[in-house]
Amino acid sequence: MSPRARSSRLVLKPFVVGWLATNCYLLADREAGEAAVVDPGTSSPSELEPILREAGRLGVELHLIINTHGHPDHVAGNPYLKERTGARVLIHEADADMLIRPPWPWPGQKPMRPDDLLAEGDVVRVGELAFRVLHTPGHTRGSICLYCPEEAVLFSGDTLFAGSIGRTDLPESSPEDMTRSLARLAQLPDETAIYPGHGLMTTMKSEKARNPFLRALL
């Protein structure tokens, strides 16, 4: 996976963690000295410590832990990172209960309460970088994407993958909601770089051309 940043302010470092090879992202504004982690999907210190070391190398402090949804392969590292850094944990309000009462056993996952609840239209700031919260239910009721139009970057969680989409056959899933969410994402500019919850980075232009789930909506 090749990190892509359109300005000198955004530093983006991907890490692949956990049993399900979840993409975990370190986002940083080096000038402001602030960073966030998106989807720390493992409770293993040996996989999480490299993220903290990278933040130290960049000279930034981890202020936020952002979950694109509540499945354990995207949230299991929340308690460890919070304990190590004091960062605030953010998740959409509709998926908060998955942190408080984990829906199924997962190695090392601990129940916890999020510090802040996200909703459609919220703006999450990492230094001077602004990420807009897009509520994109379908995979879960509280799935979100994080969109930074200034950088033309989208973190799509398990809503949109390169060539595919997240599962919609789970108890908290909805195929109808997923269709609406995908139609919304398809309106983003072609040059938008997409960083998904699993698999390779892609672009909106590529997905409109090759992803059968998006092509069916165009």
Digit-coded pLDDT (tens) for 112-156 = 999 999 999 999 999 999 999 999 999 999 999 999 999 999 999
Cα gap 190→149, rounded to integer Å:
12
Note whether 194 and 163 are within 8 A (CB): no
Q: Are 98 and 144 in contact (CB under 8 A)?
A: no
Residues 136, 124: Cα–Cα separation, whole Å: 16
Average pLDDT across the chain, whole number: 95
Indicate if the pLDDT at residue 6 is higher than 80: no
Full DSSP string of 59-107: T-EEEEEE-SS--HHHHTTHHHHHHHH-PEEEEEGGGHHHHHS-SS--T
At which residue do the structure tokens 């999450």 appear? 124
Q: How far is CA 130 from CA 14, 83, 133, 151, in A?
A: 19, 25, 10, 9
At residue 8, the pLDDT reads 66
pLDDT of residue 2: 45
Domain boundaries, the chain: 10-215
Percentage above 90 pLDDT, the chain: 91
**pTM for the structure as a whole:** 0.95
Tell me how far apart the alpha carbons of residues 78 and 90 are, in angstroms, rounded to a whole number: 10
For residue range 175-197, list pLDDT tens digits in order. Answer: 999 999 999 999 999 999 999 99
CATH classification number, 10-215, choose in 2.60.40.10, 3.60.15.10, 3.30.930.10, 3.30.70.60: 3.60.15.10
CA distance 129 to 3: 17
Work out the pLDDT band at 109, boundaries 50, 70, 90.
confident
Instruction: Kindly state the percentage of the chain with pLDDT values over 70.
Output: 96
Rounded distance between C-alpha atoms, residue 173 and residue 166, angstroms: 9
pLDDT-based confidence at 1, cuts 50/70/90? very low
Query: Phi-psi bin for 92: left (phi > 0), alpha (psi -120 to 50), beta?
Result: beta
Q: Is the pLDDT of residue 5 over 90?
A: no
Residues in Cβ contact with 42 at an 8 Å cutoff, skipping those fewer than 6 apart: 17, 18, 19, 22, 24, 48, 76, 77, 108
